[in-house]
Structure 1
């Protein structure tokens, strides 16, 4: 970081040498070395990692809806969602391996299990969830081993929520300001977006008579998506600019518009019109995908601009200093009866 702050003692500071000198010039504005980023942005490709975020969420949430459909006597929806979840988790794993460069690197991550590492936990989640999703889909398609298929469906549904949200923890565990600063809200945003996508898939591939729960899930997910995104922006402060401007801003605005439009179409017309249900489902799927790409690009933008790293740190330091000063003044205040 370039730039230093200089203090000059003027007339107003005479006689205060024991108490510290008074600054007579403003603090220098922050400027990084040749404007270079303070942190190194992850060397992730948007197609691989944002796609990995989206397809993993679709798979996990789809398994939960598939289990619910099976329990409530909606066989067509259950079968379709099991197949889509297997396809989505296969694409998710392929995207991750493609980003890693070699399949052996994914296998190497399974050599150890570190509960404190989101990447390690995520690798084991994929390794456990994938076979369960595959067994559930195979049983649904062939009709073989229905009890084993039901058990696999239940196991995939249990692991589904973790598969849906661990990618948010993985992103928030980095030093990227737009992700790390929203570490509390990002899992909720990913979960809501994944439920919207799974509900959209159910609307597209299922007969209208079976889509009642999916339509309800779509409306609730759209509301939760908006609430989580707004809460994340409030917490991020100035860093939230990265979610509202540039490529990320366009993606997030389109995502919210499509998610709301898809949920409204599904909720109002999806129960009576098959074309409306499909249109609403496609809008929900697209909105969910754009949300993941928007979050990805917001993170990259925040890593590339040094002000989003330094200014929030300075703000937190000022707040801590003000807190410490306030506590100090309260401790030294004389007692009224002294």
Structure 2
């Protein structure tokens, strides 16, 4: 209701006239109720009484083709007009307006609230609905999540794991081709890279829900979007891996190296895509507003890169052992490289846990903590590193069971790290206090 039409607190009505004076009424020439010779609108229309246009006439040239419309009789009562309504009751008879302040009263009473006995009586049905809504939603937002938990589950976890192995394996194969000229490592790295990359596009498309959404991500390039850059890196690496795999198959069938220059060029071209794909998943997590990922952002990408290379070295070592390729020198080099990656990964993961503080409770405590410590940290990092350091591989021990156990534990640790990081982020999104600690700039470990 308009402010001028609200009933006053001291008198009835709005204080406005029920009709308009003649000087404001351009539709009627005089008061239709005045006098005894009142003529109806039908009589006025029938007898041809003068009518007044609602709009002003324009030039005679304009009126030649268009006449004025919407005319009302100059005298008499116009039809289809709603009469003025009756005056509203005073404020004493209208209890719904008692909560409004008195505009003519000064002092602290302005804007006072309703007292219990003056409140408007609410129907029983509405009162029941109000109580039901209050019971369902609670009295406040206290304890409710501030951010929405991500929907990522196993499809994204497998994509992160296999994409990291594919990118790191392609990088290892390219480096072995350009610098080491180690054909055994290069060959194994090519096959591991293409085998790990094949499931990645279907996993990503299934997670999107609609296949055409993946094509929409390739329409533009957003340099500030890790997801957009990751889609382009996956596509570019897929093309390079396909060419490399085709050349490797042709070389194996022909018994000699085919198109060595083309292989070198494709390897150099795909090197930026492979390095980016091996660690962009950590950047993708760090770019969100999830408290745990946000807090661990300086260490997520380096940790994922080191984990991708350690698992890739484990896969390449297993490939060489299964097919009986490589010599003692090759396994020794792979052993050293994997040892370095595991050491760096342990250092980065420990630093990340120290930085997280209380925000890292979803990862290191509770049901996820019971998996993280024995499976990921100890079983997937400490034990393989101990095997690499205490059991050097040389001579006839290249196909020993210890090496296979170490490689299997390394793969288990890399997969569980990504899985637990995803589920810990989902759990962290349901903890509003963690988000408040970050937004207020308070150290979580205090």
The TM-score range, normalised by the shorter chain, is: 0.7 to 0.9
Q: Is 2:259 the counterpart of 1:145?
A: yes
Q: Structure 1 pair 154/250, CA: closer, same or farther in 2 (3 Å)?
A: farther
2:318 to 192, 204, 218: 204
CA displacement at 1:208 relative to structure 2: 4.8
Q: Which residue of 2 aligns with 1:67?
A: 174
Separation of aligned partners in 1, 2:182 and 2:432: 52
- Tell me the residue number matched to 1:50: 157
Closer, same or farther in 2 for the Cα pair 1:58/1:292, shift >3 Å?
same
Contact residue 233 and residue 274 of structure 2 kept, 8 A: no
Give the C-alpha shift of residue 211 in structure 1.
Answer: 2.2
Pairs within 5 Å for 1:313-332 = 313-316=439-442
Task: Tell me if the contact between 1:215 and 1:263 (Cα under 8 Å) persists in the aligned partners.
Answer: no
Rg: which structure is higher?
2
Write out per-residue CA displacement over residues 177-227 of structure 1, whole angstroms, 9 at most, x where no aligned residue. Answer: 111111111111101111110111121112352222321121111111111
Contact 1:193/1:221, CA 8 A, preserved across alignment: yes
Where 1:122 maps in the other structure, the secondary structure is helix
1:73 Cα offset (Å) = 3.1
Question: 1: distance between equivalents of 2:161 and 2:317?
Answer: 18
Note if contact 1:136-1:150 (Cα within 8 Å) is conserved in structure 2: no
Could you say which residue in structure 2 is the equivalent of 1:119?
A: 227
Q: Deviation digits for residues 81-110 of structure 1, max 9, x if unmatched?
A: 111111212222221111001221111100
Unpaired segments of 5 or more residues in structure 2? 1-138, 252-257, 321-325
**Structure with the higher helix share, 1 or 2:** 1
SS in 1 for 2:145: coil
Match of 1:76 among 184, 208, 232: 184
Whole-Å separation in 2 of the counterparts to 1:317 and 1:287: 29
> Relative to structure 1, is the Cα distance of residues 170 and 260 closer, same or farther in structure 2, using a 3 angstrom cutoff?
same
Q: TM-score, normalised by structure 2?
A: 0.61
User: Is the aligned partner of 1:289 residue 2:415?
Assistant: yes
- Per mean C-alpha deviation after superposition, the further-off stretch among 304-313 and 96-105 is 304-313
Aligned residues: 287
Question: Displaced runs of 4+ in structure 1, greater than 6 A?
Answer: none
Give the distance between the partners of 1:191 and 1:250, measured in 2 at CA: 25
Residue equivalent to 2:218: 110
Query: Post-superposition shift, 1:155?
Result: 2.7
1:135 matched residue in structure 2: 243
Distance of 2:172 and 2:389 partners within structure 1: 17
Aligned-CA RMSD value: 2.1
Counterpart of 2:377 in structure 1 is 256
